[in-house]
Chains A and B, each alone.
Chain A
């Protein structure tokens, strides 16, 4: 469904992506792991063209999105939902208005229907009765859940999760992982998760890819990835400082 071919991206003199190749299967959860600052978020932001590559292509159902004009790009983005690292809720709006925002902007649904839909999503992420609060009044976990409700409100085909559990305690992180798995099963969307919360993230993933040195070092079904003998994968999974991944 999503195919990334030879993706390169530079910021100034720093080359972050050095030829990434990746395939994301339809209706599955693909997780990209890697050390902090290795370019996972940069890669994720290319998938819905929030960033454009210096070289390479990104194919979504046979269309190279790097070649799309502004209008087609906006149309293509309607197929995506995104949960940002800090949830990126609009802080001038309540949780309810944040979740309702894309529906109000992009559809002609009546306010009663919007309200019903938003309430349903808030219930699904465990935020019933919290719609009146502003993002600043929410805890980190609640903000992530509100962000997830907003990402799912337009029934997207593809959902991108940028570090969905960063900054959360292990119990809450597991809760968010379970929520992602549950909503993915309910809605059947294709999920791309960027994370370094291992091994917890393996429980929700169908495929795992590891990004090291600006390229995908290995990508396999989760069980095979966990059993991989690739020294890079072994070092990362075990969290060792000695090995092919340069730590400091």
Chain B
């Protein structure tokens, strides 16, 4: 019994310490992002790695998600003779939920894991120590530009996901299943309000922050060995997914 309590106590302490360390890491990265000199070239480079390099998977997943929504939406709405609402249902689903969440998942898989692996390898090969030794703050050099880049790239990727998804659903609903093109777009126009776009934007922004924060933290603190890097990569992806979903629930509940 005493041993069990010891284990629970140790686990809780480790958890709290870990969360505190993660939070301090984020605070320091955000604070350093505002300190001069601004790393403009690095930010642009990371916008490319996070944004441009993830574009193909985001477009592909957005397109197929939209097509699936076209089918599912059509057959569900047909039961109530409400096929004309297909555009509205698709756009609302994509703008509010699926766009931000699925593009966050795609970016985590495509770029977040690479971030964790890259920083983990840099830790293992003493490149992070070398930065400290050269009196260069590695958090400012490696993490802050990635955070700024993700805050710029994620909303853009999400917007692209939404547009491609809406087009995918249009192709299925209008092109294949015979929904009127006019009702598809007018339904969308009538039901979408600024708040829907805004909540999607806020979600994508915060998901970008979560992904970069978690993946950079895990890579930065990876044990300096091959298994350490692989574990950090796996943990960063899993934790990012979980935090994105939990934060999505929280935001959805407060932004209704």
Contacts and interface: CB of A to CB of B under 8 A. Distances in A.
B225 interface: no
A206 B150 CA distance: 52
B130 A88 contact: yes
**Of residues B127, B132, B134, which shows the largest number of chain A Cβ atoms within 10 Å of its Cβ?**
B134
A102 B134 contact: yes
Interface string B96-136: 00000000000000000000000000100111011011111
B137 A88 contact: no
B135 A106 contact: yes
Interface stretch (A2-10, A56-64, A76-84): A76-84
B136 A88 contact: no
Contacts of A84: 126, 129-130, 133
A86 B125 contact: yes
Nearest to A75: B135
A85 interface: yes
Contacts of B132: 50, 77
Nearest to B128: A88
Chain B interface size range = 10 to 19
A163 B19 CA distance: 36
A77 B132 CA distance: 8
Interface in B63-114: none
B125 A88 contact: yes
A101 B127 CA distance: 13
A227 interface: no
A101 B134 contact: yes
Interface string A95-111: 00000011001100000
Interface string B218-230: 0000000000000
B125 A78 contact: no
A193 B235 CA distance: 38
24 contacts: A50-B132, A74-B135, A74-B137, A77-B132, A77-B133, A77-B134, A77-B135, A82-B130, A82-B133, A84-B129, A84-B133, A85-B126, A86-B126, A88-B125, A88-B126, A90-B122, A90-B127, A90-B130, A101-B134, A102-B136, A105-B134, A106-B134, A106-B136, A150-B134
Given A45-B129, A82-B130, A105-B134, 19 more contacts: A50-B129, A75-B135, A77-B134, A78-B135, A82-B133, A84-B126, A84-B130, A85-B126, A86-B125, A86-B126, A88-B126, A88-B129, A88-B130, A90-B122, A90-B127, A91-B127, A102-B134, A105-B136, A106-B135
- For the complex of A and B, 4 pairs with smallest distance between CB atoms: A88-B130, A88-B126, A77-B135, A82-B133
